[in-house]
């Protein structure tokens, strides 16, 4: 029998998840959004019931799992309530907007035996999965460069009229923070995916005085697989990146026997623009290029999550995935404040 899902929050990102969940064979029985018109429209499209109050869904007994796709700061109460109701959870990234909340959600899921995924869908890009399969051919990994440069226009320029103090931004309300919560979180997730949990972090941030979120985050991360040079930025450069569209995100992993180079396409174009992977093999001297048809990693992620939920298993993606990223973001902020490198205090 197909698993019954509620989609909570029907904004921009769910244009990928509605088809993703249905293609995965899930039955969408409920949708919720504070905007009732939006909820109703989605409900009609997918033959579901709708509400503006997600608690109604949790009390209905008509769902087995929820996809939480609301704005970042609301993830915690919704995830905790769904877990308490005994429902499996897929939560959009970042899991929470601070590491204490992410820890609380993860511990609650563990205590209840709930399957919990944070939807870091870049793990599911075919070129990323091929890169993971090629990792054993790199020999000993000694250095990684990883970055997310997102084109944010004139963000580095002061606003036309200078304002006293920080401007309250919709960014924090929508995403929980600045560039680290945006593209940076995906790259921190890929660090864990490829190299394991970092042990030590040194970070530096730049927050323009007219904003309340960082636009640049740089870090050195020490792992068991060498040092990672990490950077995330919202930048004004229009034509950089391998597709020359201003999006410049990817990684380079160097080992004693080879190197992987990965370039991603814009997150909302991943189903129309292909990513690129190159593998250099030191023994043969060959550089192999892997190009794939554009495909939605959201749909691939949802297929993986739904299949595991049907079998009642967490599977290969650890329950701590979302917590790990939020803990790294917290350490990076603390390191930037103190100017010191920090041992990462993994609390779970
Ligand atoms: N994986 C990615 O690359 C990626 C990209 C963009 C956004 N996201 C994440 O997806 C999530 C949603 O982002 P978005 O761009 O779709 O935002 P959005 O603002 O377009 O949509 C959020 C929706 O949630 C609804 N909502 C808020 N609180 C609610 C509540 N208590 N109950 C019901 N509905 C509620 C809002 O009315 C809104 O329609 C965020 O966590 C964001 O970080 C991920």
Please work out whether the CB of residue 72 comes within 6 Å of at least one atom of ligand 1. yes
Place of tokens 């990513």: 275
Token representation of residue 192: 């864990």
Q: Please tell me the predicted confidence (pLDDT) of residue 168.
A: 62
Q: What is the third-level CATH fold of 4-120+299-318?
A: Rossmann fold (3.40.50)
Token representation of residue 195: 């190299």
Q: Which CATH architecture has domain 123-295+328-343?
A: 2-Layer Sandwich (3.30)
Q: Please tell me the predicted confidence (pLDDT) of residue 158.
A: 87
List of residues 6+ apart from 32 with CB closer than 8 A: 6, 7, 8, 9, 10, 39, 50, 51, 52, 53, 54, 56, 57
**Cα 242 to middle of ligand 1, angstroms:** 29
Residue 3 near residue 21, CB atoms below 8 Å? no
Q: Which residues pair with 289 in a beta bridge?
A: 278
d(CA 113, CA 86): 8
Ranges of the chain with pLDDT below 50: 165
Q: Please tell me the predicted confidence (pLDDT) of residue 171.
A: 80
Please work out whether the CB of residue 54 comes within 6 Å of at least one atom of ligand 1. yes
* DSSP-derived secondary structure letter, 176: S
List strand residue ranges (DSSP E) for the chain, in order.
4-8, 27-32, 49-51, 65-68, 88-92, 116-119, 141-151, 200-206, 216-223, 226-235, 248-255, 258-263, 276-281, 287-291, 342-343
Pocket test for ligand 1, best of 56, 69, 118, 119 (most atoms within 8 A of CB): 69
**Cα 7 to middle of ligand 1, angstroms:** 11
Q: Please tell me the predicted confidence (pLDDT) of residue 159.
A: 80
Please work out whether the CB of residue 280 comes within 6 Å of at least one atom of ligand 1. no
Pocket test for ligand 1, best of 6, 8, 9, 184 (most atoms within 8 A of CB): 9
**Cα 69 to middle of ligand 1, angstroms:** 5
**Cα 70 to middle of ligand 1, angstroms:** 4
d(CA 79, CA 326): 15
Token representation of residue 122: 């870049």
CATH 3.30.360.10 domain range(s) in the chain: 123-295+328-343
Token representation of residue 209: 């005085």
Please work out whether the CB of residue 33 comes within 6 Å of at least one atom of ligand 1. yes
Q: Please tell me the predicted confidence (pLDDT) of residue 301.
A: 98
C-alpha to C-alpha distances, 180 to 103, 175, 223, 301, nearest whole angstrom: 18, 10, 19, 22
**Helices first, then strands: H and E counts in the chain:** 10, 15
CATH 3.40.50.720 domain range(s) in the chain: 4-120+299-318
């Amino acid at each position: 029998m197909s698993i019954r899902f509620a989609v909570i929050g029907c904004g921009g990102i769910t244009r990928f998840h509605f088809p993703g969940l249905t293609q995965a064979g899930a039955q969408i029985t409920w949708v919720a959004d504070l905007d009732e018109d939006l909820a109703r429209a989605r409900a009609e499209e997918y033959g579901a019931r709708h509400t503006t109050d997600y608690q109604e869904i949790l009390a209905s007994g008509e769902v087995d799992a929820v996809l939480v796709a609301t704005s970042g700061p609301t993830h915690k109460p919704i995830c905790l309530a769904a877990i308490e109701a005994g429902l499996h959870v897929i939560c959009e990234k970042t899991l929470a907007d601070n590491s204490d909340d992410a820890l609380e959600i993860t511990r609650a899921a563990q205590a209840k035996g709930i399957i919990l995924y944070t939807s870091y869908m870049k793990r599911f890009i075919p070129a990323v999965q091929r890169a993971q399969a090629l990792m054993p051919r790199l020999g000993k990994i000694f250095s990684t460069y990883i970055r997310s440069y997102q084109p944010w226009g004139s963000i580095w320029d002061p606003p036309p009229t200078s304002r006293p103090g920080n401007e309250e931004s919709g960014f924090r309300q929508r995403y929980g923070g600045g560039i680290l919560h945006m593209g940076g979180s995906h790259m921190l997730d890929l660090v864990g995916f490829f190299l394991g949990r970092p042990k030590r972090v040194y970070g530096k941030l730049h927050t323009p005085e007219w904003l309340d979120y960082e636009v640049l985050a740089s870090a050195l991360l020490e792992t068991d697989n060498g040092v990672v040079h990490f950077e995330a930025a919202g930048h004004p450069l229009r034509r950089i990146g391998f597709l020359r569209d201003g999006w410049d995100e990817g990684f380079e992993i160097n080992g004693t026997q080879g190197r992987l180079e990965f370039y991603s396409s814009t997150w909302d174009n991943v189903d129309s623009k292909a990513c690129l992977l190159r593998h250099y093999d030191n023994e043969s001297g060959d550089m192999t290029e892997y190009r794939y048809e554009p495909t939605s990693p959201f749909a691939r992620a949802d297929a993986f999550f739904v299949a595991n939920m049907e079998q009642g298993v967490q599977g290969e993606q650890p329950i701590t995935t979302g917590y790990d990223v939020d803990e790294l973001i917290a350490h990076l902020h603390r390191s930037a404040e103190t100017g010191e490198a920090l041992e990462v205090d993994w609390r779970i």
